[in-house]
Amino acid sequence: MTERRRPLHLAVALGVSAGVYAISLAAVTSLQADQEAAVAAERAPALDALASLRGANDRLGSRVASAGSTYAAASDGYRRVTAGLDALDGRLDTLATSVAGIEGAAVALPARVPLPSISRARSVAAPSVHATTTASGG
């Protein structure tokens, strides 16, 4: 019988090639991790600036919203004051008409009005009484 040769050299070659491939993959992974860490370190200031910018934008947005609500409140107050002034203007027009009527009536009055004379009543002295009574026990 013939002895079968075991292809041992093929198994060794396969094992060595797998080991070299694993080592090369580990080296590439290590290089990529180092590169990504370097890129992350380079981008860190930009990310910090971006976060700061987001915070400033949020604060600005809240200030704009606050200013908008303040403006709306002032606008409503202005509308109320305007309505009150319109009503007051109408009342002043009515008063001006009344005053004009009174002025016209006052101009039509004579400058002097003769008043009737008033006679004064004379004071009369009380009559003298010479009577005495015993009502007080005396």
Q: pLDDT tens, 15-56?
A: 999 999 999 999 999 999 999 999 999 999 999 999 999 999
pLDDT over 70 (residue 72): yes
Q: Side-chain half-sphere of 4: how many Cα atoms within 13 Å?
A: 2
The mean pLDDT value of the chain amounts to 88
How big is the chain, counted in residues?
A: 138
Q: pLDDT tens, 126-137?
A: 777 776 776 665
**Distance between CA 24 and CA 18 in Å, rounded?**
10
DSSP readout, 81-120?
HHHHHHHHHHHHHHHHHHHHHHHHHHHHS-S--PPPP-PP
Q: Would you give the DSSP letter of residue 63?
A: H
Q: Which residue in the block uniquely carries the two structure tokens 């060794």?
A: 12
The token pair at 90 is 């109408």
For residues 71-106, b (16+ Cβ closer than 10 Å) or e, as one string?
eeeeeeeeeeeeeeeeeeeeeeeeeeeeeeeeeeee
**Distance between CA 91 and CA 85 in Å, rounded?**
10
The token pair at 76 is 């409503």
pLDDT value at residue 2: 56
pLDDT over 60 (residue 1): no
